[in-house]
Amino acid sequence: LLNAAAAQGVEPAKITQHCHSVSLCFSKGLGAPAGAVLAGHRELVSEAWRVRKMLGGGLRQAGVLAAAALLGLEQAATTLCRDHLNARNFAEASLLSSPGVQSLNSPLVSVSLPTVETNMVMMSVGGGWSPTELCQRLQAVSEEEVAETGHAISVLLFPWSAHSLRAVWHRDVTAHDTELAKNKLEFVVRKWQE
């Protein structure tokens, strides 16, 4: 919800105005260690509360988690926009840095730039490799890589389907981390082409 609102430049209430219920997770992009909130009609929230208790859910001293969630909410606009920018920079070519996925012009991996609207980049994988194999190569660090690039970078991506993988940015992934990830992808693609 908050990523969609940030990408559209609107308040979350604009998106949820016609919804009868909304759930928002405080972890992930907001950076809280845990927690979520449910909003809706009194009956819905009461039933959710009852079921949660019945299933053993509950937390006695949630103040520390609530403080982390509050901090995440207060910084959400800045943090989420930065995450979106980092994802976009990873996906496209940057004149001041290493090439993005799109500029690699490789049959191994490609991205449709119009689909990069938030903190997620969906990449198509081809060239005879599976998304799982590409993810494994991006995670592994070889002596050759360290010798050539001067860095030991491990990039964790998620195989999304039989022909695609997903990269997601969050508050702990910096612009510098994004540059290192682009360099790693470029290294993997170059070694594949050789």
Strand partners, 167: 121
pLDDT in tens, 112-169: 889 999 999 999 998 888 999 999 999 999 999 999 988 899 999 989 999 999 999 9
CA contacts within 13 A on the Cβ side of 120: 11
Q: Is the pLDDT of residue 194 over 60?
A: yes
pTM over 0.85: no
- Please, which pLDDT band fits residue 103 given cuts at 50, 70 and 90? low
3-state secondary structure 73-115: HHCHHHHHHHHHHHHHHHHCCCCCCCCCCHHHCCCCEEECHHH
- Domains of the chain, with CATH numbers? 1-80 (no CATH), 86-193 (3.90.1150.10)
